Structure 1
């Protein structure tokens, strides 16, 4: 099945949902959702997509006119205008659309504009397209595998080049340069390079702190490759390793593997989390693991399921979802350890997309 056919089938699936949602059409303004449905990269705020039972209409301005003319699809038609939502109202009236669904994540400013402009009744919906995005097709899985492979390669390159007296920011810059030279387009979130005591902060940003002998170093990074992002974390040591951190590393790695071993279609998020969290709690570090076990990835670094942890009994894994597994232990004044892999959920069991070794590496 070619990419154009995949995009067409996504629009068709959305069209088939309209009557069940009791709406005449659905308005899409989220950039990733427009790309997912059409394959057209319309930047956020530069227009919208109107999906009716028989049409998919891209409403944007003349900056995109040539790109739309070159766009290889028979299903999406373009309307060029500088008044996106005035034109949307005219189209809805012309097609006799009386009830218009929209994404409830839009800004209040945009809602106020729609409320003032539209003659159709407006009905908000939550995660209509995001739920479609949860289940990856074969093309998406292939892209995410390529992304994961590139991340694993980048980690090995960093291990080969990192040295004491580099700063965290210098390591992040080296990683960014390598990723972009080898096919990544942009980071999906600010790269975390956290060394020493900074590694005890789960969301520390790369700073001017100098990495020194005896530091534990956590690198958490995600980059877009062919439009999809992987998400990977590894922790390694520089020179000597504190004995407690060496033990903590082993606990975290065992927790990561325990969760992966229990990934299966139909598994509940809270139960999956418990397989890893219980090991950490039994080792006496329950209070030092202060975030969820993982989340979905795809066109964005956080997709549905947005997170799974102790209270997510409503999360039930489905075939061809891709989730992360990222247990961690963070000890103030000493450091922390997190290890993260990307996993494809299948009826045949988990498939680990992240190929980088998880054994503790000590860089001399």
Structure 2
């Protein structure tokens, strides 16, 4: 499963290198909705920063939304920081007094952690320079996905967790793993999208959860508990990977706004990923297959499988993620 990935959020690159246009309307709608429903942090910082400098009337509206959304989010983090600092001061006063309590000790521990978290979030929000984590996505987070409509490539913001056709939010909660579409299930679980709605997410690296003993190529020793490790996989040579995706649009969704969502296709891993302890891998397609992938023929699924099989095959170097 591709549990996390570092995306390409440079929209000029989509336009310059792939001839795509940016669906500003979809970005405006998303930014408005995430401001209202408290989901602003689900939009990666790199995605927001790309619209910081306005271009055209819609661009000015987006830049305004980014500035306002960041300011509102900063106010929330500051309020949390102030509240936890008060909680910490109260707990420390009790602990320094004649009758320290277990509750005060627990409040001190919790407040200390929450103060650090609030400060870190506030610093990340206000930081000017971008770092790698600003473009990293997880299930439930939004990313730019390139699709094709009426012969035109379009970049649309989509949630990394696909809501399948006919699903409601309640059904979706029962199946939280729909951010990945297994190759061997494309005609079964994903049959309404495979051959119909294809997209591409541009990724620089990806991350996976693995068991430490599997990463080290050994069995658990008696009494040893299984330990999770997050590995970072980098293609060699370094490159932008055109990850094959399936997407859906749920009209109206839950709040009256159309929900665009997607999943990355995964397949059996190359030897180096398997040796690192993971049994799935994303599918980066070759540039010469982009047109055929984005405009699929539902009556010729074999041609689509052929694109998946004739994928780009970089070597994936790995290390423990920071």
TM-score (norm 1): 0.24
TM-score (norm 2): 0.26
